[in-house]
Structure formats: structure tokens, C-alpha cells
């Protein structure tokens, strides 16, 4: 059963040594980075759904979320100036049109109580000198987070795992005195927010067992008088923009930084079992719905980093390494293979991170799909592409079959097929175990495929490359040079 859960994908020497490497097909010097660890978590509800509905039904839910997020990205990319904005795993739409937040935190207390033995050590946090831990001892959502190991790189912090590779979280400190908040890291949005002390659920209850920020807990908290609102499709948040201290890892401390605190949260954010206390967007400044300097822009303005760069080492829960890490302004040389590093232009003008693909191969053979590009999104679990492309890819995978009942492709659970994305002249393979989403009911040895049809007519050449691919690489984005760098992870 642990092997099954691993397949649920909902959603790198000194620094100078790294920069001395000349990546293939680029003459631009690789960017500097600073990193903090990312944490993996595992939500209970999807495990419960898997048992009650079956893999096909759970797979369909993830595909639906992925399709909506992909469509929102494509629409935003093709029509700058629209009223649509990206969310942690969906679009924020002023028009009210519902998109989706694919990262659904579906934990439930009943499952948590059964797994109290899985409770993690709340002292293993990215900033050990901060006065509080990133999760309150005993809160239900503790069982939903797999803690990452501490990092040795001076500018790094751990990235935890939520659920079975559903989402990735990092500890960030706010206020005076500093309090630790567990934030979802999302490369598909640009804003930062946490829960406010006056927060109420839009369903009439509280905003749950989370950490909150306000004048009672922070002496440096200042209101700006400006309100904000975000609709993530599966839920929404609203509140005020405030100024306060924000500290990332041990080095990056901003004073009077402007960000959002919530006054109202929908149930999808407010339930006790949801581990996140807020969201940290890692997309470009142009995607900010709060219309304030993004966190990474503020770090550069303050002279704390030289380049506006995010780097991600996304770990796989089934590997048991717990070595996830998020990096700001510098690249951790221990997390990637320097000679494998390639840097390519970001081809997305809207603010997402999108790279052109040279080709896609299956077991080394070009599938000949033509001009394609991939939006890299840490908030997406699956690999989403148009129907014709998905069909062509699976027709090249031995044993792959189209399941008429679920309207999706299946692959052998024990597949050894390697699907490779060729970027900047280098092939980056998806491990076979990441291709198999979960066993099909009553069909031993057959699994749902993690490569799914997007079905969006507006963007036939655009793909959404979520964690199915990103777990296999080290990803870095540079807003100053508008580049994306990819390497083999260690």
C-alpha cells in the first residue's frame, strides 16, 4: 500500500563552483540562489477517497483540477490584462468564473487520530533560533506533514511534504516576536498571505487550528487600510494588506514588508486538518494580485539577495530521503549535478515559468510532437497536455491502454518506460514510478497514468508540467534574467 500512495502526484562545492559550469546551448551565466528546505505532506482525505472511490475516481478529480489550472495559465498567457490571476493551484478570477486550486488539503481528523504515531518532531524547523516551532504540538494537521531534514547550506531551509506528494511547505517567520507559519510554496502565483487574528470562516465558524498574525501577537504589525481578495476556485480568502516583519531562513529578514492577512477564509483553508497557515507565491511580479512588491523583489531591493531567484528540490515521499529544499537567491550545490545544468529563456510573458521543449522522447525515441512548451508548476500534481499529445505519448509506452470507463490512459504498474523531456539539449527523464498514479480497481497490475489530457483548445502547444516531472529535477527560476534552469537532482 505505501507504494500505491507514492504514485499519487496531485499537485543540488561552493556556489562559485556551480557558476563556473557552462550549461549547454546558453551563454548566460547561471544565476545565484539562496535556498530554504521544502516540506512534504500527506493528506488523509485522498487516502480515504482512494479506498472508497477507487484510483480512477481520485485520478479523475486530479485531472479535473489540473485541466482548470492549465486552462487558466494558457488563457492568462495569451491575454495579458484580463481580470484573471493565478492562485496557489488555480486562477484568481475577478470575473467570478470558477477555476480550481489543485492543491486541495483534504485531511480529516478521523484518519489523523488513527495515525497519531506519525506525528513529527515539531522542533525540526528551518529556523531553529526562532521562538516558536512551525507547527503547534498536537494540532491535527501535524500528522499530514512529513518533515524535511535540516539543511547545511548557509542560505537554505527544508521543504516539507504534505500528504502523499500533494504539496510542499516551508516555514517562514512573521511579526515581533517572530512566529513561525507553515506556507505552501506555489510557483503559479506571486503573493504572500497568512491568517489574521480576526479571521472568521465564511461558513460561520473560526479559521481553524492555525497560526494567526495581528496586533495582539506582533508589536510591529501595521495596517495599511487596503483590502484584498483572492478566489482560488475551490475556496477563497479575503482580508487586509499590512506591514510587518518577515524572516525567511536565517538570513533574509524584511521589516515593514507589505503582504496579506485574512479576515475571511472558506472552509477549504479554515479546517483544522489543513496544515498550511498561508501561501508564498514564487511566480513573477507581474502576477501579483495584491499589486505590491513580491517577497523576492523585496529581498533584492533590501540587498539581501543579488538575483530574484527561486530554486526547488522537490522530494518524493516514497524515497524516504526527506531532502526537499526551497532556495532564494542562491543554488545549493549539494542538491543538483552541476554538469547537468541547463538554462533556457522563459517564454511566458504573463509571469509564469514556461520553457520550450526540444522534443519529448519515450525510451529515447522522439515522439515527434513538434513545437511544444511546458509551464512548470509546483502546485500541480499531474502532467497535463492536449488530447492528441497525450494519445501520442501513450501509444509509444509499452502496455499503455485507454480506459473507456474512466476516459483516461492506463500504464502497467511495473512499467520500466522512461519518458524524457528534452530541454536545452539535455534529456530529463520521468522515473517510471512517477508515471503510475494508482492501481485500477479489479485490474491487477494496471495503474492510472500520471500523464493526463488537458482538453484546452486555446493552447494546443502548451503543457502543464507538475510534480510528476518536477520530482525528477532541480528547478531554478531567475526573474532578473527571465531564465529557467534545470538540472539532475542528487
Residues recognised as catalytic: 186, 377
Tell me if 472 sits within 8 A of 429, measured CB to CB.
yes
Task: Name the nearest CA neighbour of 75 among 347, 459, 377.
Answer: 459
Residue 330 C-alpha cell reads as 542562491
Residue 461 near residue 373, CB atoms below 8 Å: yes
Using alpha carbons, list the distances in angstroms from residue 263 to 241, 260, 281, 362: 11, 10, 19, 49
Query: What would you report as the CA-atom Rg of the chain, rounded to the nearest whole angstrom?
Result: 21
- The rounded distance, in Å, linking the Cα atoms of 211 and 207 is 10
β-strands 372-376, 354-357 pairing: antiparallel
Asked if 106 and 46 count as a contact pair (C-beta separation under 8 A), the reply is yes
Which stretches of 348-469 are assigned E, i.e. beta strand? 354-357, 359-362, 365-366, 372-376, 383-385, 401-403, 408-412, 419-423, 426-430, 436-439, 446-449, 451-453, 462-465
Q: Taking a C-beta distance cutoff of 8 angstroms, is the pair 38, 168 a contact?
A: yes
Quote the DSSP letter at residue 206: B
Contact call for residues 307 and 321 (beta carbons, < 8 A): no
Phi, psi (deg, nearest 5) at residue 39: -110, 140
H-helix segments, 79-220? 109-114
Asked whether 438 and 7 are in contact (CB, 8 A), the reply is yes
DSSP 21-86: ---TT--SPPPP--EE-BEEE--HHHHHHHHHH-HHHHHHHHHHHHHHHHHHHHHHHHSTTSSEEE
Could you tell me the CA-to-CA distances from 358 to 130, 330, 348, 421, 426 in Å, in that order?
45, 27, 16, 8, 9
Amino acid at each position: 500500500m505505501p507504494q500505491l500512495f507514492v504514485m499519487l502526484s496531485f499537485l543540488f562545492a561552493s556556489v562559485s563552483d556551480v557558476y563556473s559550469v557552462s550549461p549547454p546551448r546558453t551563454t548566460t551565466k547561471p544565476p545565484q540562489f539562496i535556498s530554504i528546505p521544502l516540506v512534504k505532506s500527506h493528506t488523509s482525505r485522498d487516502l480515504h477517497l482512494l479506498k472508497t472511490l477507487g484510483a480512477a475516481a481520485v485520478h479523475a478529480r486530479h485531472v479535473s483540477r489540473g485541466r482548470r489550472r492549465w486552462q487558466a495559465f494558457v488563457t492568462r498567457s495569451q491575454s495579458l490584462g484580463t481580470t484573471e490571476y493565478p492562485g496557489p493551484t488555480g486562477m484568481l478570477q475577478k470575473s467570478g468564473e470558477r477555476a480550481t486550486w489543485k492543491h486541495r488539503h483534504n485531511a480529516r481528523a478521523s484518519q489523523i487520530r488513527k495515525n497519531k504515531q506519525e506525528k513529527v518532531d515539531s522542533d525540526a524547523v528551518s529556523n531553529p533560533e526562532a521562538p516558536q516551532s512551525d507547527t503547534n504540538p498536537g494540532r491535527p494537521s501535524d500528522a499530514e506533514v512529513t518533515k524535511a531534514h535540516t539543511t547545511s547550506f548557509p542560505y537554505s531551509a527544508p521543504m516539507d511534504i504534505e500528504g502523499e506528494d500533494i504539496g510542499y511547505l516551508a516555514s517562514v517567520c512573521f511579526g515581533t516576536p517572530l512566529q513561525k507559519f507553515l506556507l505552501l510554496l506555489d510557483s503559479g502565483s506571486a503573493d504572500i498571505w497568512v491568517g489574521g487574528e480576526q479571521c472568521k470562516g465564511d461558513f460561520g465558524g473560526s479559521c481553524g487550528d492555525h497560526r494567526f498574525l495581528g496586533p495582539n501577537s506582533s508589536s510591529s504589525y501595521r495596517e495599511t487600510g487596503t483590502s484584498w481578495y483572492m478566489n482560488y476556485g475551490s475556496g477563497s480568502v479575503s482580508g487586509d494588506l499590512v506591514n510587518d516583519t518577515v524572516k525567511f531562513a536565517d538570513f533574509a529578514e524584511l521589516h515593514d514588508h507589505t503582504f496579506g492577512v485574512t479576515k475571511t477564509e472558506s472552509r477549504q483553508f479554515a479546517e483544522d486538518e489543513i496544515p498550511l497557515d498561508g501561501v508564498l507565491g514564487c511566480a513573477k511580479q507581474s502576477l501579483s494580485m495584491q499589486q505590491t512588491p513580491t517577497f523576492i523583489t523585496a529581498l533584492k531591493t533590501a540587498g539581501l539577495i543579488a538575483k530574484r531567484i527561486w530554486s526547488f528540490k522537490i522530494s518524493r515521499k516514497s524515497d524516504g530521503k526527506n531532502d526537499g529544499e526551497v532556495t532564494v537567491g542562491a543554488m545549493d550545490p549539494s542538491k543538483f549535478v552541476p554538469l547537468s545544468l541547463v538554462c533556457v529563456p522563459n517564454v511566458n510573458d504573463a509571469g509564469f515559468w514556461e520553457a520550450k521543449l526540444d522534443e519529448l522522447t519515450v525510451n529515447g525515441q522522439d515522439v515527434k510532437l513538434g513545437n511544444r512548451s511546458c509551464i512548470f508548476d509546483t502546485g500541480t500534481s499531474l502532467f497535463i497536455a492536449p488530447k492528441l499529445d497525450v494519445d501520442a505519448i501513450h501509444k509509444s509506452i509499452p502496455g499503455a491502454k485507454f480506459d473507456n470507463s474512466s476516459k483516461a490512459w492506463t500504464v502497467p504498474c511495473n512499467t520500466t518506460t522512461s519518458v524524457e523531456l528534452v530541454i536545452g539539449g539535455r534529456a530529463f527523464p520521468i522515473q517510471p514510478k512517477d508515471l503510475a498514479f494508482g492501481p485500477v480497481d479489479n485490474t491487477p497490475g494496471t495503474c492510472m497514468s500520471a500523464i493526463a489530457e488537458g482538453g484546452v483548445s486555446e493552447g494546443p502547444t502548451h503543457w502543464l508540467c507538475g510534480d510528476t516531472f518536477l520530482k525528477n529535477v532541480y528547478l531554478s527560476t531567475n526573474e532578473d534574467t527571465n531564465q529557467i534552469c534545470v538540472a539532475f537532482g542528487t
